[in-house]
Amino acid sequence: MIELTGITKIYNENRPNRVEAVRGVDLTLADRALTVLRGPSGSGKTTLLTLIGCLARPTSGRVRLDGEIVSALPERFLTEVRRRTFGFVFQKFNLIRGLTALDNVMLPAFPLGLPHARLRTRALELLDHFGILERAGLPVENLSGGEAQRVAIARALINDPAVIVADEPTANLDGARVEQFLAIAAELKARGKTVIVTSHDPRITEAAIVDRLVGMADGRIVGDGS
Ligand X SMILES: Nc1ncnc2c1ncn2[C@@H]1O[C@H](COP(=O)(O)OP(=O)(O)O)[C@@H](O)[C@H]1O
Instruction: Decide whether 120 or 220 has the Cβ nearer to ligand X.
Output: 220
Interface residue with ligand X among 2, 38, 44, 87 (CB under 6 A) is 44
CB of 25 to ligand X, least distance (A): 12
Check binding of 19 to ligand X (CB under 6 A): yes
Burial class (CB in 10 A: 0-12, 13-18, 19+), 113: exposed
Q: For residues 21 and 166, which CB has a smaller minimum distance to ligand X in the complex? A: 21
Stretch that binds Mg ion, among 24-32, 46-54, 67-75, 78-86 (CB under 5 A): 46-54
Whether the Cβ atoms of residue 178 and residue 199 lie closer than 8 Å to each other: no
Could you tell me the smallest distance in angstroms from the CB atom of residue 167 to Mg ion? 6
Q: Does 12 bind ligand X (CB under 6 A)?
A: yes
User: In the set 46, 50, 194, 199, which binds Mg ion (CB under 5 A)?
Assistant: 46
Q: Which residues are CB-neighbours of 28 under 8 A, at least 6 positions away?
A: 1, 2, 3, 4
The item of Mg ion, ligand X, none sharing an interface with residue 58, based on CB under 5 to 8 Å by kind, is none
Under rule CB under 6 A, residue 199 binds ligand X: no
Contact 91, 169 (CB under 8 A): yes
- Strand, coil or helix: what is 23? strand
Q: How far is the CB of 179 from ligand X (least distance, A)?
A: 23
- Residue 206's φ and ψ, nearest 5 degrees, are -100, 10
Does 11 engage in binding with ligand X (CB under 6 A)? yes
Does 21 participate in binding ligand X (rule CB under 6 A)? Answer: yes
Determine if 170 is a binding residue for ligand X (CB under 6 A): no
Say if CB 20 and CB 10 are below 8 A apart: yes
For the chain, the residue count is: 226
Residues contacting Mg ion: total by CB under 5 A:
2
From 41-49, 62-70, 98-106, 136-144, give the range in contact with ligand X by CB under 6 A: 41-49
Cβ contact 29:165 at 8 Å: no
Tally the C-alpha atoms within 13 A of residue 160's C-alpha that lie toward its C-beta. 6
Task: Note the maximum CA span of the chain.
Answer: 51
Where along the sequence are the contacts to Mg ion (CB under 5 A)? 45-46
